[in-house]
Structure 1
Amino acid sequence: MSLGRQLLRKKAVEQLLEQSESKAGSLKKSLSAFDLTMLGIGAIVGTGIFVLTGVAAAVHAGPALVLSFVLSGLACVFAALCYAEFASTVPVSGSAYTYSYAAFGELVAWMIGWDLILEYGVAAAAVASGWSGYAQGLLEGFGIKLPVALTSAFDPAKGTIIDLPAILIIFVITLLLMKGTRESARFNAVMVIIKVAVILLFLAVGIGYVKPANWTPFMPFGFSGVATGAATVFFAFIGFDAVSTAAEEVRNPQRNMPIGIIASLLICTVLYIAVSLTLTGIVPYELLNVKNPVAFALNYVHQDWVAGFISLGAIVGITTVLLVMMYGQTRLFFAMSRDGLLPKAFSQVHAKTQVPRKSTLIVGILVAIFSGLLPLNKLAELTNIGTLFAFVLVSIGVVVLRNTNPGLKRAFSVPLVPLVPILAVLFCGYLIYSLPMLTKVGFVVWLIVGAVVYFLYGRRHSLLAKEVSRNR
């Protein structure tokens, strides 16, 4: 077989479904549409709404931040419809990696899998660092102050050596994920209800302090500022795609997957628009370049007691993001390992809990190392471009699979194909274009490293390649 044909070999949808339904090494089906919606909200509402809203308003968009959220939301809605079609048609762990295996072939699937490792792993590490900052602030409110050396990643100038709180929260999440998917989903649902209640409290109190004069000028940095703001706050929407990694653990995935993906995204978009309007209405946008803009806005109008609840809500919100990101990472590793592209340890399922415990523990250790020892500011920026790249490929994949496998049973179908997938590609492509050049270069370097890993390991261990060889 020629090298080109090897790299483009595809896995049939029927083969993927048969693999997921095999009793040997299968995952436990325990999630409902409600669980999926809570997972989506848990992954989406967190750092973006509690942290990035301030920076995006002060530096990029001004009061037009609401348009930035609309622009990012549109890109995500079109992509979410494409994800919903794939997730209901191919309810298999692995998200965009699995879909690409069916639509484009092994090399593209590996590259998108490598890309998602960046999205979930780096995002989880960066989120853990953010959680550490909020947690230390809460502890200081009770008079507890950690030694400087244990408060942040290694930085000789600041005297910091390791981010101990970040490492501790990662290991707590790791232990929870190892207990079982159902237990993790219940914990996530409780946390989601708390943080949504906190956001609604902010809106209820804050709306009385809105001054329409603060919305003038509405677009101080022009539309380019709105676009850059959209690319920045796009981080706030990352997460709904993590819902699709749970496909193999869902009861009635054909019905529940589209509900979970679309409902979580729509709920979060409405919350984001309401918060951004209220935030810029309370505080002049120039003052919002702070780490805790939502709490800051309430302090600004002397509602300090509500600000305290907001800080608690931020900690809860960031905890659920961390939970879902690490969950998505373990299921991605599970899918890639089951195909032979990663070592077997990542796809071994525990007999009692029916979760990939070894994979979960390995992911926990890796994320703990990154968040505890490495400053991740620049790496976190790569998360946005990695996710947008995945959205583009999934959207194109819907069109490809409609042409190559038109008779495939689709429980949910994207309307107006190819218009909706094309709009998803255009919106996501524009957001990629709006990102800094350094981020794009870093992403290309990451993909090159991934290609090297594939040719050194994945290509030689691919189970599909061995199967094709046996058949020949």
Structure 2
Amino acid sequence: MTLLFRRKSISEATELAELKEYKLRRDLNLLELFFLVIGATIGAGIFVLPGVAAAKYSGPAVSISFFLGGLVCICVGLCYVEFASMVPVAGSAYTYAYLALGEIFAWIVGWDLLFEFTAGTSTVSVGWSGYFVEFLRGFGIHLPKMITTDIAHGGFINAPAIIAILLVTYIVYSGIREAGKINAYLSLGKLCALALFLVLAIPFIKPVNWHPFLPFGWKGVMTGAALTFFAFTGFDGVTTVTEETKNPQRDVPIALVSGLGFITILYIVVSAVLTGVVPYTKLDVPDPAAFALVSIGKSWGGGIIAIAAIFGLFTVMMGNGLSATRILFAMSRDGLLPPIFARVHKTRRTPYIATLIIFSVALIGGGFLSIGELAELANIGGLTAFTLTAISTLVMRYSQPAARRPFKVPAIWVVAPLGTVGGIALISSLPPITFIRFGIWMVIGLVIYFSYGRKYSKADIGG
């Protein structure tokens, strides 16, 4: 039983990362880290969620819903920042749970994150495919359904999704420097498209559309906040590449906090503009942003939305896949999974075997499977990691008060509990079937842990 709760020390984690065979190249700078947060978080949801949340739950107060969702996310993000500054190695919430709660909790979080990020890559590739097909259709190019959707939806293979994953695989395999720069350029393009949308829409705002401001009351605002929270997921991926950052103890905290703050403000502005241009009662449509542009006579604006979504989803794919490979690498390096996944390329200094494995699985999901249900499983995995990271921060403050912390969460006994309660509340809002599927996934993971990881864990060495 003691072995289940054995913990890694901060020195053990950092020393293992410095071994030559596991040494990753430190290439990422502050700007690239900032765009990794932007790229991994802002996808097509920025154009969809505000409309759905406004029409069904929050009304014009959807901007408050985004503020509250962002506030909970920032509370959790601050906990990630404290850990990232303490122990600047790959692994994110998996490593943090290992330090604070013990090996079994680390395994649960790591196993969760592997699914979250890999399934997320597959899911997003299908969304990217849909926007790409529609974009081509605007130019009179019609791809047959047989090669643009899965068997469950009347097709055979989703070729655009496969091509997108292959492109992302090549970029991530090439090296962290290349991935960081390409992500930054694409994220900048996405932000430019978003800025153009705002420039076109803001002059047509009618303040009367913001009345009544709280048609569903505060209960609706809170329900909307639970929905909008998922628009913030992905930011934690930046802590999986801490080991590949030039100055991690300074740059990761700055990038994560500034990135989350920027994203929260952007979501609030976009939702306020949408509900100001179009009455909230009319926003329950698949593409509310494009609908808003059509309503003001900018029918060609759908192209702007498509470009932003194509850029946005590609960077989300890259962020998810990159994070999954680093989690797999960290778990393998710790001995919980076979050592082959921790092999580092001699020249690129990236975990190339882990990269090929993760993206191969994602490719199968994106190309051949109907994965709408997997998205809910990805959500519960991410929320579990968020909640345990907030708890881990409190545990470390109590168990290791003297540990060096370049960044400390302010008002920790308020911020961390808020992040914990917020995470638990959002988990409880998921449908019951999600918990059944999640339980099955965890059983599979625990079988692997007890048959392999517990036996070969490097935390065993020296006690």
TM-score, structure 2 normalization: 0.96
Secondary structure at the aligned position of 1:418 is classed as helix
In the alignment, the residues of structure 2 paired with residue 390 and residue 219 of structure 1 have an alpha-carbon distance, to the nearest angstrom, of 33
When residues 65 and 104 of structure 1 are mapped into structure 2, their CA distance, relative to the original with a 3 A threshold, is same
Write the mapping of 1:392-471 to structure 2, written as runs, cut at 5 A: 392-465=387-460, 467-468=461-462
Aligned pair partner of 2:39 in 27, 39, 42: 42
Amino acid of the structure 2 residue aligned with 1:295: A
Task: Establish whether residue 77 from structure 1 lines up as the match of residue 74 from structure 2.
Answer: yes
Aligned pair partner of 1:116 in 113, 116, 120: 113
Amino acid of the structure 1 residue aligned with 2:195: L
For 1:249, the equivalent position in structure 2 comes to 244
Shift of 1:265: 0.5
Moved more, 437-446 or 28-37: 437-446
In the alignment, the residues of structure 2 paired with residue 124 and residue 371 of structure 1 have an alpha-carbon distance, to the nearest angstrom, of 8
For 2:173, the equivalent position in structure 1 comes to 178
Amino acid of the structure 1 residue aligned with 2:372: N
In the alignment, the residues of structure 1 paired with residue 150 and residue 47 of structure 2 have an alpha-carbon distance, to the nearest angstrom, of 22
Amino acid of the structure 1 residue aligned with 2:253: P
Write the mapping of 1:181-200 to structure 2, written as runs, cut at 5 A: 181-200=176-195
In the alignment, the residues of structure 2 paired with residue 67 and residue 433 of structure 1 have an alpha-carbon distance, to the nearest angstrom, of 21
Please tell me whether the aligned partners of residues 29 and 251 of structure 2 are also in contact (alpha carbons under 8 angstroms).
yes
Tell me, which stretches of 5 or more residues in structure 1 are unaligned?
none
The alignment-based identity, stated in percent, is 45
Amino acid of the structure 1 residue aligned with 2:399: T
For 2:29, the equivalent position in structure 1 comes to 32
Write the mapping of 1:94-173 to structure 2, written as runs, cut at 5 A: 94-155=91-152, 158-173=153-168
Tell me, which stretches of 5 or more residues in structure 2 are unaligned?
none
In the alignment, the residues of structure 2 paired with residue 337 and residue 142 of structure 1 have an alpha-carbon distance, to the nearest angstrom, of 47
When residues 219 and 438 of structure 1 are mapped into structure 2, their CA distance, relative to the original with a 3 A threshold, is farther
When residues 62 and 384 of structure 1 are mapped into structure 2, their CA distance, relative to the original with a 3 A threshold, is farther
Instruction: Write out per-residue CA displacement over residues 238-274 of structure 1, whole angstroms, 9 at most, x where no aligned residue.
Output: 1110000011001121111101111110111000000
Amino acid of the structure 1 residue aligned with 2:270: V
Shift of 1:416: 1.5
Q: CA RMSD in A?
A: 1.5
Instruction: Write out per-residue CA displacement over residues 407-430 of structure 1, whole angstroms, 9 at most, x where no aligned residue.
Output: 211110111222211111122222
When residues 31 and 198 of structure 1 are mapped into structure 2, their CA distance, relative to the original with a 3 A threshold, is same
In the alignment, the residues of structure 1 paired with residue 432 and residue 209 of structure 2 have an alpha-carbon distance, to the nearest angstrom, of 33
Please tell me whether the aligned partners of residues 54 and 293 of structure 1 are also in contact (alpha carbons under 8 angstroms).
yes
Write the mapping of 1:292-303 to structure 2, written as runs, cut at 5 A: 292-303=287-298
Please tell me whether the aligned partners of residues 227 and 431 of structure 1 are also in contact (alpha carbons under 8 angstroms).
no
In the alignment, the residues of structure 1 paired with residue 72 and residue 430 of structure 2 have an alpha-carbon distance, to the nearest angstrom, of 15
In the alignment, the residues of structure 1 paired with residue 355 and residue 246 of structure 2 have an alpha-carbon distance, to the nearest angstrom, of 22
Shift of 1:367: 0.3
In the alignment, the residues of structure 2 paired with residue 460 and residue 50 of structure 1 have an alpha-carbon distance, to the nearest angstrom, of 48
Secondary structure at the aligned position of 1:426 is classed as helix
TM-score, structure 1 normalization: 0.95
For 2:346, the equivalent position in structure 1 comes to 351
For 1:87, the equivalent position in structure 2 comes to 84
Instruction: Write out per-residue CA displacement over residues 174-202 of structure 1, whole angstroms, 9 at most, x where no aligned residue.
Output: 00111110111110111111111111111
Please tell me whether the aligned partners of residues 75 and 419 of structure 2 are also in contact (alpha carbons under 8 angstroms).
yes
When residues 450 and 62 of structure 1 are mapped into structure 2, their CA distance, relative to the original with a 3 A threshold, is farther
Write the mapping of 1:284-433 to structure 2, written as runs, cut at 5 A: 284-433=279-428
Secondary structure at the aligned position of 1:99 is classed as helix
For 1:58, the equivalent position in structure 2 comes to 55
Shift of 1:313: 1.1
For 2:231, the equivalent position in structure 1 comes to 236
Amino acid of the structure 1 residue aligned with 2:428: Y
Please tell me whether the aligned partners of residues 68 and 227 of structure 1 are also in contact (alpha carbons under 8 angstroms).
yes
In the alignment, the residues of structure 2 paired with residue 379 and residue 439 of structure 1 have an alpha-carbon distance, to the nearest angstrom, of 9
In the alignment, the residues of structure 1 paired with residue 305 and residue 389 of structure 2 have an alpha-carbon distance, to the nearest angstrom, of 36
When residues 436 and 396 of structure 1 are mapped into structure 2, their CA distance, relative to the original with a 3 A threshold, is same
Instruction: Write out per-residue CA displacement over residues 50-107 of structure 1, whole angstroms, 9 at most, x where no aligned residue.
Output: 3333322223322222122112101111111110000011111010000111101110
For 1:218, the equivalent position in structure 2 comes to 213
